Structure 1
């Protein structure tokens, strides 16, 4: 369940980055657009390292960003924006799963269990990062044309 929610959160981060690049292509709103791009990329990275690398700081960053996203989507759903309901469900569910995962990671750290996580970056992670950047920059290139 956490893996599926992590992929959903990464999808939200990709959509935020695409939207930010689209907004950033207009010069008067470039600052807000690139802020949205940074928010989306940090969300993708923090959720990845918290889930797959068991990084507690990344877990805190991702949970904070998801709590903020949940609040924004909740307020949009109250106003009547129906399209905000699916991201609200993904964000809120992932925040709760991150809290449970954080307890599990902190217990493992306190027991000094040898983790199977290495400090080296694998080829799979590099290819995944290239795929995510392609998924962001491909659709965003249409905004610049």
Structure 2
């Protein structure tokens, strides 16, 4: 039998997905202005990719998504640390979530590699569950609901 993700990793995954939702909403709000629409869509894509890769790495045991999500979290942590050094103490909570999730991802990566070496790594089936479909609809509603406010 293979090791499951820890409860603390699961909780911080939801925190990271929440950050991804906020980044996506921020990117979509930037894209409403014509002179910065390309940058806004890049930021929105970054946030949406963070949501998907963090979920897939934690619950689907996907190593590639784990590497991508960890890279994104390292980039976010670096930017948030710079903002903290400039005196923006409002970024302390997102910085804590990003750094903690990054460290948890690194230990999860080591665990998955160890399981792969012993031949017990089983990636989740490719079938998507009804729970995941409802979760995806909820995430889209959480993004498009507030983002539609900026397009009015």
TM over 0.5: yes
Query: Among residues 9, 12, 19, which one is paired with 1:2 in the alignment?
Result: 9
Query: Among residues 77, 84, 93, which one is paired with 1:77 in the alignment?
Result: 84
Q: Please, what TM-score do these two structures have when normalized by structure 2?
A: 0.93
Aligned to 1:91: 98
Aligned to 1:11: 18
SS at match of 1:121: coil
Aligned-pair Cα RMSD in Å: 1.0
Matches within 5 A, 1:1-145: 1-113=8-120, 115=122, 117-145=124-152
**How many residue pairs are counted as aligned between the two chains?**
145
How far apart are 1:85 and its partner, in Å?
0.8
| Whole-Å separation in 1 of the counterparts to 2:139 and 2:11 | 16
Aligned to 2:3: none
- Structure 1 residue runs of 5 or longer lacking an equivalent are none
| Whole-Å separation in 1 of the counterparts to 2:123 and 2:110 | 18
SS at match of 1:17: helix
Give the direction of change, closer, same or farther, for the CA distance of 1:41–1:116 in structure 2 (3 Å limit).
closer
SS at match of 1:54: coil
- Structure 1 runs of 4+ aligned residues shifted over 4 Å read none
Instruction: Output one character per residue of 1:109-134: Cα deviation in whole Å (capped at 9) or x when no partner.
Output: 11111637222111111110111000
